Chain A
Amino acid sequence: SAVISQKPSRDICQRGTSLTIQCQVDSQVTMMFWYRQQPGQSLTLIATANQGSEATYESGFVIDKFPISRPNLTFSTLTVSNMSPEDSSIYLCSIDRGAPNYGYTFGSGTRLTVV
């Protein structure tokens, strides 16, 4: 099954700055998903990234704040821009393995702390 390499694993950033999170998949996938998970909470979908088109953002998330790139079928980045302490969270990328294995595979996550 697919393996996702996500980095950085953690970072501490100053407010007002930006952080770019990278995910590399060891196989080609059509869609990649970006989730946010605040401590002790569920996973909230930020956006869906398709190669060759604009990412689709969920309600409450905007492109200016969370720009996403998807330059090819194995790679995607999520940038958290103009950070504030409220952006402190775990960010995870994910793919849908589809048939026959099914299920989502997640990257190991990026623990972001904004000070």
Chain B
Amino acid sequence: QQPVQSPQAVILREGEDAVINCSSSKALYSVHWYRQKHGEAPVFLMILLKGGEQKGHEKISASFNEKKQQSSLYLTASQLSYSGTYFCGTERVGNDMRFGAGTRLTVKP
């Protein structure tokens, strides 16, 4: 079952913040976050496995709620290099990865 991802698109100025959400109707085994730049393959950013987990990578971080049904990706002080489409991917135990519809992030100077 495909997770629900929002918003569909975000336009930011350099230095601004953004939040991307990913939710499922059922508890998940894990949530992955990926970034895909135009014409390239998706690149893994991070995985969250535990309810209540928060994880950061430079100025990009993510959380996974206690019920393991919602995750958010936080991009702070955005840079031009953050532009791309962000996908969450969700796994349920014994199942394969399903991807959200994607959030197109544009960072302008």
Interface size on A, residues (CB 8 A): 17
Q: Which one, A11-19, A66-74, A75-83, A101-109, is touching chain B?
A: A101-109
In the complex the two chains form, is A109's CB within 8 Å of B41's CB? yes
Query: Which of A34-71 touch B at CB < 8 Å?
Result: 41-45, 48
A105: B residues at CB distance < 8 A: 44
A96: B residues at CB distance < 8 A: 97
In the complex the two chains form, is B41's CB within 8 Å of A42's CB? no
In the complex the two chains form, is B96's CB within 8 Å of A33's CB? yes
B2: A residues at CB distance < 8 A: 42
How would you classify the secondary structure of chain A's contact residues: helix, strand, loop or mixed? strand
In the complex the two chains form, is A48's CB within 8 Å of B96's CB? yes
A41: B residues at CB distance < 8 A: 101-102
The complex places the Cα of A45 from the Cα of B98 at a distance, in Å, of: 7
B interface residues, Cβ below 8 angstroms from A = 2, 32, 34, 40-44, 46-47, 87, 89, 96-102
